[in-house]
Chains A and B, each alone.
Chain A
Amino acid sequence: MMKTDNRQDQAARNTITIDGQEIPFQHGQTIIDAALEAGIYIPHLCHRSGLSPHGSCRLCMVDIVDRKETLGDSDRRREGKIQEETRSRSVAACTMPATAGQWIRNNTPELNEARKVITQMLFTEGNHICPSCEHSGNCTLQAVAYYLGMLDGHFPPFFPRRDLDASHPTVMLDRDRCILCELCVRASREADGKNMFAIAGRGTRARLIVNSASGMLADSDIEMHDLAVHVCPVGAILIKEQGYRVPIGQRTFDLHQVEEIDLGKTIPPEMGQK
């Protein structure tokens, strides 16, 4: 870990600093991709390296801080007071490009508390009954909740009624658990070249729809090797006849914390490779 306080030096080096750790970035890279590449975890649900950014879950919010620390001592005296950090603004790390010299706060109690509240909202606006969900233990939403120390849903649950689509022989869609992250939408368009999914409706009526004549998976071109099927961070898109092959207690997030896992590698390499 390099240590620097000098913004100009940093600009020259094409680096950004996250929670005091200086890391490099490539031109055009977002803050989150630079961070993940450097092994810094920023909580996220709707982001997946390689797919276009979406910026919808807001879990990756970080603070970009304007600092006066770069001022020399004489300048400070002229100001009459020493101000370490002046303004800060919150941005989504998955949509904000990294630019040289950015000073970023990520793993702070305030941001993590806000992220926890967002996660609680995601739980309460859907039907997330983990003990009855096949994805439990492999679910990124659940793992992020663990990371943030979420113990309860806090808000009055919505208990929404949402349609289940079990019409397809191998792929199933349980909208109760969909968090509308559009990862499947983007994976289908950008990786599978199929455009199988979209979000319809707004607000509490927003829902995932299937692009087929009947609106059912059975009539669609979806196949179980599509990236769209595997990219779902929750238990909304499931593959049939594979349930509980890995028992509860031995799954990815039973054995690892979410920040230790490269989420891109949890998808078998042959998926979405066409």
Chain B
Amino acid sequence: MTRIRIATTSLAGCFGCHMSLLDMDERLVSILEKAEFDRSPFTDIKHCGSCDIGLVEGGICNEENVHVLREFRKNCKILIAVGACAINGGVPALRNSFQLRACLEEVYLHGEGVENPQIPNDAELPLLLDKVYPIHEVVQVDFYLPGCPPSADQFFRMFNDLISGNEFSLPRKLLHFD
């Protein structure tokens, strides 16, 4: 039996969703009998191959996020927005009430304890977007797993449904936005 391939990534997120996925603990073993990870922070594979499922944590805050997200969309049959940030920008989107320049100045020029104040400008750094966006603003998203983070039980339920080919549904007790 070929195992289903899952890719995961964290964009403008905090890795909390990935930590929560790992919180499935020993239940992961049963999942890994039927699934394997492609590009993911768990494998360190740098680019996405052809996958069945892509899980995206985090919103879109810079140009690199956009490239990674498009790579995921191109290679994953089912793309899932995981967690509050991927779904509506989440906590990083709190910066959307301010101009980008004001954010940079606050952190790098006027921030507490800043020495040699300057706004980083290295060509290697991905350019920041004016705002933090939910991923459905950039690509088509097939499913949403809300929560900040979604609980291990939610992840387990989702993997089980997807692996067994059931339609994914979230019981109301497991639905939460925080």
Q: Which of B91, B136, B144 contacts A129 (CB 8 A)?
A: B91
B100 interface residue (CB < 8 Å to A)? no
B window 91-148: CB within 8 A of A: 91, 93-94, 96-97, 131, 133-134, 136-137, 141, 143-146, 148
Total A-B pairs in contact (CB under 8 Å)? 74
Q: How far is the CB of B127 from chain A (nearest CB, A)?
A: 19
**Chain A residue with Cβ nearest B84:** A131
| Chain B hits for A130, CB < 8 A | 84, 148, 177-178
Digit string of B167-178 for contact with A (CB within 8 Å is 1, else 0)?
A: 000101001111
A151 to B177: give the CA distance in the assembly, Å. Answer: 9
A153 to B85: give the CA distance in the assembly, Å. Answer: 12
A254 to B93: give the CA distance in the assembly, Å. Answer: 24
| Chain B hits for A176, CB < 8 A | 97
A233 to B148: give the CA distance in the assembly, Å. Answer: 21
Digit string of A133-158 for contact with B (CB within 8 Å is 1, else 0)?
A: 10011000010011101011110110
Decide if B88 touches A157 in the complex (CB within 8 Å): yes
A7 interface residue (CB < 8 Å to B)? no
**Chain A residue with Cβ nearest B87:** A152
Decide if B144 touches A152 in the complex (CB within 8 Å): yes
**Chain A residue with Cβ nearest B171:** A149
A271 interface residue (CB < 8 Å to B)? no
Decide if A248 touches B178 in the complex (CB within 8 Å): yes
| Chain A hits for B54, CB < 8 A | none
A window 156-177: CB within 8 A of B: 156-157, 159, 161, 176
A window 215-260: CB within 8 A of B: 248, 254, 257
Decide if A131 touches B146 in the complex (CB within 8 Å): no
A195 interface residue (CB < 8 Å to B)? no
Decide if B144 touches A149 in the complex (CB within 8 Å): no
| Chain A hits for B176, CB < 8 A | 146, 254
Interface size on B, residues (CB 8 A): 28
Decide if A129 touches B89 in the complex (CB within 8 Å): yes
A146 to B178: give the CA distance in the assembly, Å. Answer: 12
Decide if A129 touches B94 in the complex (CB within 8 Å): yes
A257 to B176: give the CA distance in the assembly, Å. Answer: 11
A108 to B88: give the CA distance in the assembly, Å. Answer: 28
A128 interface residue (CB < 8 Å to B)? yes
Q: How far is the CB of A143 from chain B (nearest CB, A)?
A: 10
Q: Which of B91, B94, B146 contacts A151 (CB 8 A)?
A: B146
Decide if A127 touches B90 in the complex (CB within 8 Å): no
A127 to B178: give the CA distance in the assembly, Å. Answer: 15
**Chain A residue with Cβ nearest B97:** A161
B12 interface residue (CB < 8 Å to A)? no
A254 to B172: give the CA distance in the assembly, Å. Answer: 11
Q: Which of B89, B144, B175, B178 contacts A157 (CB 8 A)?
A: B89
A130 to B175: give the CA distance in the assembly, Å. Answer: 13
Q: How far is the CB of A200 from chain B (nearest CB, A)?
A: 20
A197 interface residue (CB < 8 Å to B)? no
A197 to B167: give the CA distance in the assembly, Å. Answer: 47
A128 to B178: give the CA distance in the assembly, Å. Answer: 11
29 interchain pairs, CB-CB under 8 A? A127-B96, A129-B88, A129-B89, A129-B91, A129-B94, A130-B84, A131-B84, A131-B90, A132-B94, A133-B178, A137-B178, A145-B177, A146-B175, A147-B172, A149-B170, A149-B172, A151-B87, A151-B143, A151-B175, A152-B81, A152-B88, A152-B136, A153-B88, A153-B134, A157-B89, A157-B134, A159-B89, A159-B93, A159-B131
